Amino acid sequence: MSIDIEWARAELSSFLKLTELYSPPGLFSASSRLSNRGGEREIVASAQIVEQILDRVLPQWRTEVPADRNKSVNRWCQHREAAQRVDAVLLRDAEVRERLGDDAPQLSAAAMHRWVWDGARSLWGSGHFREAVTAAARKVNAETQNKVARRDVSETALFQSVFSKDAAKPGQPRLRLMADDSSDTFRSVHRGAMSFAEGCFAGIRNPNSHEDGLPELPEHEALEQLAALSVLARWVDSAALDAT
């Protein structure tokens, strides 16, 4: 789902107005902090919404936007700078990409299947991309186990079983991406899903979680890996359960 730019900018504008700094009349102490226009309760309520907008548009704002530079001035300074940056992105991102000759479609982690982004969100926001991908893979595995009510197998063995072309057996349900009409298409679709799942866990999940001392994944590479896991998650989520 694409972001509602008009709504998001209105929320950011409201937050910026509430957190605007001013010196209250009659306050002459040079050591006193500046005050916000809005009350603390109003600001906290607004921040709850604004933080979600910031996470969506600028996932690493907590680490990219300096937190300590103006900490002594006001607690909301980091939020204000992040909100101003995000507002500029929302206002001019399409224009900038067009002017720079890069108007290609953009991939958003927040728009991926909910299992993937729910698993990756907290680690992604702190810049731990490799761990975020691993967490997303674990989430997809766990949700697949939940759907077929199995805990005795996981990862590659699990997907080999659920996407098997063989008929379901007691304790071994299948996931069907299309009805079994004995066609080459049915066999191809499920063979492909099984192989794709094996590749996701052998080529993405395992190296990320089992190799010590690996450098951090570049963000764009981690995003590509999340996209692969999102494809698998959608297949599993949309598949019909055959437990006969």
Question: Over the stretch 61-97, which tens digit does the pLDDT of each residue have?
Answer: 988 888 766 555 678 999 999 999 999 988 887 677 6
The rounded mean pLDDT for the chain is: 88
Q: Report whether pLDDT(100) > 80.
A: no
User: Between residues 214 and 134, which one has the greater pLDDT?
Assistant: 134
CA pair distance 24, 34, nearest whole angstrom: 8
- The tokens describing 230, both together, are 């999102």
What is the structure's pLDDT at 2?
Answer: 66
Of the chain, the percentage scoring pLDDT greater than 90 comes to: 64
Does the structure show a pLDDT above 70 at 55? yes
Q: Which residues, other chains included, contact 193 with Cβ-Cβ below 8 Å and sequence gap of 6+?
A: 159, 163, 177, 232, 235
Res 104: pLDDT: 65
**Are 106 and 93 spatial neighbours (Cβ–Cβ below 8 Å)?**
no
pLDDT band at residue 11 using 50, 70 and 90 as cut-offs: very high
Average pLDDT over residues 117-132: 91
pLDDT score of 29 more than 60: no
User: At 1, is the pLDDT very low, low, confident or very high (cuts 50, 70, 90)?
Assistant: very low
Measured from the Cβ of residue 91, the count of other Cβ atoms closer than 10 Å reads 12
Q: What is the pLDDT of residues 134-167, one digit of tens each?
A: 999 999 999 999 999 999 999 999 999 999 999 9
Q: Are 136 and 109 in contact (CB under 8 A)?
A: no
Q: How far apart are CA 135 and CA 137, in angstroms?
A: 5
170: its two tokens: 């007691």
- H or E element that contains 55: helix 40-57
Residue 127 and residue 120: Cα distance in Å, rounded?
11
pLDDT at 97: 67
- Confidence band for 111, pLDDT divided at 50, 70 and 90: confident
Name every residue whose Cβ is closer than 8 Å to that of residue 123 and which is 6 or more positions away in sequence: 129, 131, 132, 135
N-to-C CA span, the chain:
36
Of the listed ranges 11-15, 18-22, 236-240, the least confidently predicted one is 18-22
Looking at residue 192, what is its pLDDT?
97
Residue 41 amino acid letter: R
Give the pLDDT of residue 170: 93
Q: What is the dihedral of CA 148, 153, 155, 156, to 10 degrees?
A: -110
Residue-level pLDDT at 166? 93
Backbone angles phi and psi of 13, in degrees to 5: -60, -45
For 186-222, b where at least 16 C-beta lie within 10 A, e where not — what string?
A: beebbeebbeebbebbeebbeebbeeeeeeebeeeeb
Name which residue leads in pLDDT, 22 or 146: 146
Q: Give the β-pairing of 240-242 and 174-176.
A: antiparallel
Residue whose entry in the numeric block shows the structure tokens 């080459």: 184
